[in-house]
Amino acid sequence: MVTNRFPTIVGALVVLAAPLATPANGAEGIDAKVQICSSCHGENGVPINAMTPIIWGQQEYFIVKQLHDFKSGDRENPIMAAMAATLTQQDLRPAARYFAGKPWPARTAPVAAVAPPNNIAVCRICHQPNFEGGLPAPRLAGQSYDVLINAMNSFADGRRTNNADMVKLMQERSPEEREAIARYLSSL
Ligand code: HEC
Ligand code: HEC
């Protein structure tokens, strides 16, 4: 059973249920507050460099949780900690909705097809068969290789601990397996 194997997802949903259930009072003026985000995440949804994740068209719940985690320090990144600090708790959901509601940016250059690695069936349980994500897991399809490999290695070596399932899943895989997965997902 998925629910038995991955109890931390349920825990995370319970923790975040309260802020998600409150009305989006911070919605007013959110457009102005998120202007600064485009300087890195891109005016048109294409980030300024390969280390910066695409957030246009990303899953809303995932964005809320990341902003929450950057704020609290559960996910450590100095730049994003400073950025998340410019938003109030009430801003997080409207900000997430703002970006989730945008289209995922189209590819600017064609990418060669990569055969799926044979150990990724489990990933589809949460990230969905097409890797476009869903509640609560993020979209991975088309994210850059650098973002994906950095995220996976960070989970594996303890630099990113804001999801226990992901830490365990990544520790179970070799560096070579993680690279193959990142190559495949970035090609989608
Ligand atoms: C100075 C550049 C910069 C600015 C400005 C910036 N970000 Fe980021 N953002 C990044 C980088 C770099 C990362 C990747 C951090 C990491 O590697 O953990 C990131 C990560 C994120 C993530 C996690 C995405 C994922 O797939 O893991 C979200 C969500 C996010 N930013 C939202 C925002 C929002 C909302 C704003 C505006 C309030 C913003 N960012 C402003 C550089 C920036
Ligand atoms: C039990 C559900 C579940 C399974 C199975 C799962 N993931 Fe995840 N994954 C998540 C969740 C939830 C997150 C967001 C964690 C957080 O809050 O930062 C995530 C985050 C990620 C991220 C970081 C994305 C980003 O932009 O920050 C990557 C990369 C990733 N998963 C890859 C994988 C791969 C590869 C597999 C298969 C080996 C996998 N996941 C299996 C639930 C899952």
The reply to whether ligand 1 has any atom less than 6 angstroms from the CB of 150 is: yes
* Least trusted range by pLDDT, from 58-67, 72-81, 107-116: 107-116
Structural domain containing residue 98: 2-187
State the burial class of residue 153 (Cβ atoms within 10 Å of its Cβ: 0-12, 13-18, 19+).
middle
- pLDDT band at residue 155, thresholds of 50, 70 and 90? very high
Is 55 near ligand 1, meaning CB less than 6 Å away? yes
Question: 6 falls in which pLDDT band (50, 70, 90)?
Answer: low
Cβ 77 under 6 angstroms from ligand 1: yes
d(CA 6, CA 99): 28
Local structure of residue 53 (DSSP, 8 states): P
Question: Which pLDDT does position 111 carry in this prediction?
Answer: 85
User: Which has the closest alpha carbon to 184: 138, 125, 129, 140?
Assistant: 140
**Residue 3 exposed, middle or buried by CB count within 10 Å (0-12, 13-18, 19+):** exposed
Q: What's the pLDDT at 131?
A: 97
Q: How many domains does the chain have?
A: 1
Which of 141, 149, 147 lies closest to 188 in space, CA to CA? 141
Q: What is the CATH number of the domain that holds 151?
A: 1.10.760.10
Of 165, 65, 78, the C-alpha closest to 123 is 165
* Best of 169, 170, 179 for a ligand 2 pocket test (most atoms within 8 Å of beta carbon): 169
Q: Count Cβ neighbours within 10 Å for each residue of 46-80 and write b for 16 or more, e otherwise.
A: ebeeeebbbbbbbbbbbbbbbbbbbbeeebebeeb
- For residue 64, pLDDT over 70 is answered with yes
pLDDT number for residue 26? 47
Minimum-distance ligand 1 atom for the alpha carbon of 76: 18
Reported pTM: 0.89
DSSP calls for 152-186: HHHHHTTS--S-HHHHHHHHTS-HHHHHHHHHHHH
**Running DSSP on this structure, what letter comes out for residue 25?**
G
Alpha-carbon span 68 to 64, nearest angstrom: 6
- What is the reported pLDDT for 22? 42
Say yes or no to pLDDT of 136 above 70: yes
What's the pLDDT at 21? 42
Mean per-residue pLDDT of the chain: 89
Ligand nearest to the CA of 48: 1
